[in-house]
Structure 1
Amino acid sequence: MELTLSADGRITRGPSLINPQSSSVYRAAADGALRALRQTAPFDVPQGFPGGAYRPTFNTERACRNR
């Protein structure tokens, strides 16, 4: 995933997937991660946060463990 944040923690571009896969399982997990990012914004950022492009990662193995 990639997104751009402003200095106040708002999403100004994205989030978008990088090298998305076509499997239904991947798509369901990716859609959930994208939705979570959108719903969480604006992010609580420290004073002086410069903003910019970020690539958060979603670790499916860790997130789906014991399910």
Structure 2
Amino acid sequence: MFSVGIVGTGSYVPEEVTTNVDLEKIVDTNDEWITSRTGIRERHFAPKDVPVSELCYQAGLRALEDAKVAPEDVD
């Protein structure tokens, strides 16, 4: 019988950050209004030429690192 469990986790967010102050320049709103209603102060956006699969790949690498498992050891 096989044993199964979560031995590591990983996440990845793109480097490009857009803050509420950045949004103030393009939308009729302000940082205080957004933060008070959503709790969000900044968000990360991937460049248009970066596929979602690349974000998943990066998160997977971090999960493997967290689990101390080499990619070649995964079945």
Same fold (TM over 0.5): no
Q: Say which structure is richer in strand.
A: 1
Please report the TM-score for the alignment, with normalisation by the length of structure 2.
Answer: 0.27
Task: State the TM-score, normalizing by the size of structure 1.
Answer: 0.30
Whichever of the two has the greater Rg, that structure is 2
